[in-house]
Amino acid sequence: MTNLTVTQTSLDPEQGAVGARRRPSIAARISAMGQSRIGALLLLVATLAAIVWANVSLASYGTFWRTRLMAGVGDLHLEFTLHALVNDALMAVFFFTVGLEVRREFAIGELTSWSRALVPVAAAIAGLVAPALLFVLIARGSGNEHGWGLVISTDTAFLVGALALIGPRVPGRLRVFLLALAVVDDIGALSIIALVYTEHFTPLPLLIAAAGLVGVYLTRYLRSRRGPVYVSLAIVVWLAFLASGVHPTLAGVAIALLVPVYRPNRSDVERALELARTFRQSPTTEYARAAANSLRESISINERLQSAYAPYVAYVILPLFALANAGVVLTPEVLAGAAGSTLTWGIVVGLVVGKLLGVFGSSALLRRLNLGELGAGLTLDRVLGGAAVCGIGFTISLFIVDLAIDDELAQNEARVGVLAASVIAFVLATIIFRISDAVRPDDDSGMTLARPVDPARDHVLGDPYAPFTIVEYGDFQCGFCLKASGSILEVRGVLGDRLRYVWRHAPLVQIHPNALAAAEASEAAAAQGRFFDFARALLDDQDNQRPSDIIRIADDLGLDLDQFEKDLISAEVAGRVRDDMLDAEAMSITAVPTLFINGRRHVGPYDARSLLRALTTASGTPVAE
């Protein structure tokens, strides 16, 4: 559950974001940890519980997970063990959420722009190939070479949780990079499961699955009651995959890739607002239902499903999977066998060294060749730490153990290798991040502009190559930003073309409810060359920034409204604003306006006279006041 704070007044930029003074409750502290961190901790607890259980009573551990369940009608019935129920059925839901994330990233996320996607895609591919090669090199001759799929994939859940626990001080840009990488990594892992670890393939049931997937695609056109249809078709597709011999968890991915994803459009949001206002005036059951349905329908099914299933996956499914699959016996004999096993060492070296070399090496090479974008604040030492985290291959690795290895003793050695590699990767990443933070002292954090001004990218008012520069990170619902922009315009009146004024976005989304939408609208206006005109209109009328007001401003400025609305929901516009926000996070910007004078952060008043004095100090050249 997300707690939102909405206020009508801006925070004083000289005070920053001031939280509540009272001591938070235990529930509040747990909530503040975030879903990713809590999920990672639950996964860790379940793993430790499985190991303890298996070592205290291996017989009861095995007996429990071999418990057989039967369900059916008449002559049709299915029979599962509890272990198979977790691995084949519940994990299909996990892979479904993975597929939703893959679909979203390629439609409206980080992987929509080739220049933005090049580095994480290349790093993910190298991070698949290098571990597999190292594994085969070490395990050759052992009869377990077929298990190279054990080392290919990074555990996204542990990756996000580990980043929250041990990541650098400002992990935003690294988190985006690693999540984009994890999406491609998941695609590779899922493809390998389907192509390499599928046995006893029967093609006929896949025709039924194909028909069900067509039905899933067409369900988007139903006007109502789509949920029960999706569920029914999903069950049919899952059963068809199960009958075909293709691992049924892949049904979840196939279904997810057909679920529509889009950014909310203005007409849907306006309709939801109108119905909400109608309900406020006439609070009846019918209007309440209509308003709720309209609000829900304004968000894509993909994002609604991600939000709905994410807690179950993080808090139930993945911990259950760990409990069912991480029960490795750690007797001295087993550990001694694992220590001398090429299978175990192939897994450890493949995950820890292979991921590190593949992810970091490819990223460093592309950086050296000036190919692709890493983004401001994402330095190679941080990428090195992220590459180490990628060595945590827990979930998919344990999942593939049963698919790739038949011998029970070898399976135990493989699980020891997976657990050891995950621990080593976690510790190694912790060391790298601590060293990385240590070489960046806090006293200079955020005092230097993270990304230099680029006239080809930035919104620049004045001569793009003027000797004096003021960069403002601002928010269109901030009264202080209105005052600051007025002061900067006064300075421009004095300096003329000797000053360039640059605006970058830092919307305080938890404080100003319309600030993010306003920032994206200004970028849509920028596509038609009217950024500063649109920005001025937003700053001058901060109380009216609803979707209808945004369109009215665009119409008043004579913009092409059809093109404006298309740009407004485009991935490019959202990505442009997100880039500025990540820059702001990297520089610890928590209040706006935050100004940079000739690349250095301005501390103090921002009236015109103070800014002129700051420009003189920054440049060493007297500036007339």
The per-residue pLDDT for range 97-106, each reduced to its tens digit, is 888 887 887 7
Give the up-direction half-sphere exposure of residue 521: CA atoms within 13 A in the CB hemisphere. 31
Q: For 249-331, where are the alpha helices, taking DSSP H only?
A: 249-256, 266-281, 285-297, 301-312, 318-325
Contact between residue 471 and residue 591 where contact means Cβ atoms under 8 Å apart: no
| Low-confidence stretches of the chain (pLDDT beneath 70) | 1-36, 72-77, 110-111, 170, 265-267, 269-270, 375-377, 440-445, 619-625
Q: What is the dihedral of CA 387, 185, 107, 261, to 10 degrees?
A: -110
Written as one letter, the residue type at 244 is: S
Contact between residue 592 and residue 481 where contact means Cβ atoms under 8 Å apart: yes
CB within 8 A of 161, min separation 6: which ones?
Answer: 36, 37, 39, 40, 41, 43
Would you state the pLDDT for residue 26? 46
CA–CA gap between residue 274 and residue 278 (Å, rounded): 6
CA–CA gap between residue 220 and residue 230 (Å, rounded): 9
Question: Is the whole model's pTM more than 0.85, yes or no?
Answer: no
Would you state the pLDDT for residue 376? 65
Q: What is the dihedral of CA 381, 385, 390, 393, to 10 degrees?
A: 160
Give the up-direction half-sphere exposure of residue 353: CA atoms within 13 A in the CB hemisphere. 12
Kind of pairing, strands 594-597 and 600-601?
antiparallel
Written as one letter, the residue type at 404 is: A
Nearest CA among 266, 262, 257 for reference residue 102? 257
The 10s digit of each residue's pLDDT in 155-184 is: 877 787 788 778 787 677 788 788 888 878
